[in-house]
Chain A
């Protein structure tokens, strides 16, 4: 069941990358009237941004085997006309010799720039930004409906150590860098649309350059924090039967009950694995963007997905397309993470009495601990009874 849910989530995320228009089937067009060249219907469909089967020209690249001898007239192109050669350049089906040896410099024309730009400036900003604002509004409503989750009977007045200093350091390294990455990422993504009209292009240029520096460099802190928290907490976040009981009770959010939990309850485990899986994914796509053209990974990933799920994602990608996919994927994953982390921040601060102390000074009220992590408290007390530590 978990594997199916995970596959469905991956598929849903992947599906978000594609414009619905692309899914429309291209009709078969009779091109005999134009001798195989494009027709008025092709042009009209292109103007309406509908799908066109480009194979009639992407595969019409001439045939060097038909070359006329060099000594003959029109023999210099080796059986290809000028139009054939330009079509080969247009569809990246040529292996040119270039003076600059950069990885992407052999691609003379790459035509996915505008679709990428439109996707980035359109649906990614609209749905991503809308999802964050909508979720914030939902939390405000939830807060006023449910109210702050209080400690039943009030605090005990005595505390128990919930997290050691090194655990809190790893958490705040991850959290601090993630918040900086989120803010600078949103400035980079949305600044052109929302900040330039307010502050003008000159001031935004300075802000954008600063955001880029922070985003590119604080990413290393995020990755270090991710590794630290994974190593420290993975053993406590392995799902078990208790989590199902906790989920069935809704974590007590709506029933005012307190389902049993060990060090981390099912809700915290969901946050943990969301951060770890999406954090790893956003780090990989971020590294691909940080070192342009050096770490292409989408063609290989698509090949694996195609072989497992039988899909037909493109596997022959130009270096620029790899960057475009990395950019879009980076944004989508970051938005999902931001929403998850907003929920985490809510429940760890204003949403629950006594929760912040766990990461504030590491000491939580004993009654709070008994109500939310009763089995963990029992474990700690049993160890302390034997002279051990938490």
Chain B
């Protein structure tokens, strides 16, 4: 059971770290829609 709980915690840690890691590599869907767009304001 310890292994099962460790795996669940690892899944949550990976999920938490994923957006930060992706941002570091510039892999962000938000990046795609804002930075490359021309703002009209």
Decide yes or no whether A341 CB sits under 8 A from chain B.
no
Q: Kindly list the 4 A-B residue pairs having the minimum CB-CB distance in the complex, ordered from nearest.
A: A172-B7, A221-B11, A217-B15, A218-B15
* Alpha-carbon gap, A224 to B38, bound state (A): 37
Since A99-B38, A175-B7 are in contact, a sample of 12 more A-B pairs with Cβ atoms closer than 8 Å, ordered by chain A residue number, is: A100-B36, A102-B33, A169-B10, A217-B15, A217-B16, A218-B15, A220-B15, A220-B18, A221-B15, A225-B7, A294-B32, A360-B1
B contact residues around A180 at 8 Å (CB): 11
| CB-based contact B29/A290 at 8 Å | yes
Interface size class of B (residues with CB under 8 A): 20 to 34
A contact residues around B16 at 8 Å (CB): 217
The binding surface of chain B is classed by DSSP as: helix
CB distance from B24 to the nearest CB of A (A): 14
B contact residues around A176 at 8 Å (CB): 4, 7-8, 11
A contact residues around B7 at 8 Å (CB): 168-173, 175-176, 225
Shortest Cβ distance from A224 into B: residue: B14
| CB-based contact A168/B4 at 8 Å | yes
* Alpha-carbon gap, A176 to B12, bound state (A): 10
B contact residues around A217 at 8 Å (CB): 14-16, 18-19
Contact residues of B with A, CB < 8 Å? 1, 3-4, 6-8, 10-12, 14-16, 18-19, 27, 29, 32-33, 36-38
B contact residues around A290 at 8 Å (CB): 29
Most buried by A among B4, B29, B33: B4
Shortest Cβ distance from A101 into B: residue: B36
Decide yes or no whether A303 CB sits under 8 A from chain B.
no
Decide yes or no whether A359 CB sits under 8 A from chain B.
yes
* Alpha-carbon gap, A180 to B14, bound state (A): 13
CB under 8 Å from chain B, chain A span 120-172: 165, 168-172
* Alpha-carbon gap, A172 to B36, bound state (A): 39
B contact residues around A294 at 8 Å (CB): 32
B contact residues around A315 at 8 Å (CB): none
B contact residues around A252 at 8 Å (CB): none
CB distance from A24 to the nearest CB of B (A): 38
A contact residues around B3 at 8 Å (CB): 165, 168-169, 172, 362
* Alpha-carbon gap, A359 to B29, bound state (A): 37
Contact of B14 among A99, A102, A218, A360 (CB under 8 A): A218
* Alpha-carbon gap, A384 to B6, bound state (A): 29
A165-B3, A290-B29 as given contacts; A220 in contact with B14, CB under 8 Å: yes
B contact residues around A218 at 8 Å (CB): 11-12, 14-15
B contact residues around A301 at 8 Å (CB): none
| CB-based contact A291/B27 at 8 Å | yes
A100-B38, A169-B3, A360-B4 as given contacts; A291 in contact with B11, CB under 8 Å: no
* Alpha-carbon gap, A290 to B18, bound state (A): 12
* Alpha-carbon gap, A356 to B5, bound state (A): 15
Interface 0/1 of A264-307, CB less than 8 Å to B: 00000000000000000000000000111110000000000000
| CB-based contact A169/B32 at 8 Å | no
* Alpha-carbon gap, A176 to B11, bound state (A): 7
